[in-house]
Amino acid sequence: MIVRQSLADVPPGERAVALGSFDGVHRGHQAVIGNAVSEARARGLASAVITFHPPPIAVLRPDVQLVQLSTLSRRAALVAELGVDELVVLRFDRAFSRVDADGFAAQVLAETLGARHVSVGENFRYGQGAKGMPEKLAEDGRRLGFDVHVEPLLQDGGETISSSRIRELLGTGSVEAAGELLGRPPWLEGAVVRGDGRGRELGFPTANLALVPRSPVPGIGIYAGIAHLPGSRHAAAISVGYNVTFTDDRSRVRVEAYLLDFDADIYGSPIRLDLTHRLRDELRFDSVEALLDQLGRDVQAVRTLAE
């Protein structure tokens, strides 16, 4: 998949286009993108996903504390897995926010992208003030030479699949439910940084994460998962919490991962943690021995789940 960093990088050509923010590339997003890919293959077009960066709300409402499931690079990787030819990153700024719905359809979709087919979710909004709706897009498409597919919102268990719902589930620690909506386990990304070294002293050396900005923070607890390092992956016991056995400091949440059967210097390395199962709440132990006993059970649970 080719990643184009702006509209200026887009060469002439005819495309089937999927439009959206696609935070997390969840199952609903996958349906929108899948339609564009299928149409592209059927018609001999290039398939392109158009996403917005930074998110419009970050520009229009900088006072809002924004949380995102996926970084732009992670979003690109997930889109690539769907067989897309191009990802076009539409740089959203104040100037672009003033482009009205007619201008977006004509200048961006028809002229720059050469759209012949456009796929959107039924809640997609576009143009100045988000006044453009799918019905308007279809009307403009008939005039400008592209047809529009509107993907119904996908339901799961009677609720609409959405990025906001997934963030809520992750925040309560419901990682299995979040994974059902995503179509894959939820994840955390960051870099490995130095901690206080206590895990190594106890015989359970952990990788401490500095999360990327705007990351969601899962509910406090202990999780089973998979740690992805450059070139390798490892089953991991993951702690999201405050180290309550050793400190009363609750000023920041710590994310630590014990990688099973692995002990190497990875300080500074990028890392992704897939959260597959919630094992238990974070507990305060009366002794180090009691803590170590529980850690042993946690590791065995991770090992069993990974088999």
Percent of the chain with pLDDT over 90: 83
pLDDT of 96-111, one tens digit each? Answer: 999 999 999 999 999 9
Residue 61 CA, chain-centre distance (Å), reads 21
276: left (phi > 0), else alpha (psi -120 to 50), else beta? alpha
Give the mean model confidence (pLDDT) for residues 252-271: 93
Average pLDDT of 77-96?
Answer: 95
Rounded average pLDDT over 271-281: 98
User: Which pLDDT belongs to residue 34?
Assistant: 98
Residue 186, Cβ density class (10 Å: 0-12 exposed, 13-18 middle, ≥19 buried): buried
Judging by DSSP bridges, how do beta strands 254-259 and 270-280 pair with one another?
Answer: unpaired
CATH numbers and ranges of domains, the chain: 2-154 (3.40.50.620), 186-306 (2.40.30.30)
pLDDT digits (tens, 9 = 90+) for 34-60: 999 999 999 999 999 999 998 888 888
Which tokens belong to 186? 């939820």
Q: Is the pLDDT of residue 200 over 90?
A: no
Mean pLDDT of 66-81: 96
pLDDT score for 270: 97
Of 251 and 173, the one with more pLDDT? 173
C-alpha span between 24 and 104 (Å, rounded): 24
Asked if pLDDT for residue 191 goes beyond 80, the answer is: yes
User: What's the pLDDT score for residue 64?
Assistant: 87
**Bridge-based pairing state of the strands 115-121 and 15-19:** parallel
Mean pLDDT throughout 236-246? 89
Residue 118, pLDDT above cutoff 80: yes
pLDDT of residue 255: 96
User: How confident is the model over 204-232, as pLDDT tens digits?
Assistant: 889 999 999 999 999 999 999 999 999 99
What average pLDDT does the segment 267-286 reach?
95
User: What percent of the chain has a predicted confidence (pLDDT) above 70?
Assistant: 99
pLDDT for the residue 140: 96
The pLDDT score that the predictor gives to residue 60 is 85
Quick one: pLDDT band at residue 203, thresholds 50, 70, 90? confident
3-state SS, one letter per residue, for 40-79: HHHHCCEEEEEEEECCHHHHHCCCCCCCCCCCHHHHHHHH
Q: How many CB atoms lie within 10 A of CB 161?
A: 22
CA distance 8 to 210: 34
Asked if pLDDT for residue 198 goes beyond 80, the answer is no
Phi, psi of 190 (to 5 degrees): 175, -160
Q: What is the dihedral of CA 262, 263, 268, 272, to 10 degrees?
A: 20
pLDDT band at 300 (very low <50, low <70, confident <90, very high): very high
CA–CA distance, 89 with 198 (Å, rounded to integer): 43
Is the pLDDT at 161 greater than 90, yes or no? yes
The predicted pLDDT at position 294 comes to 93
Local confidence band at 250 (pLDDT 50, 70, 90 cut-offs): confident
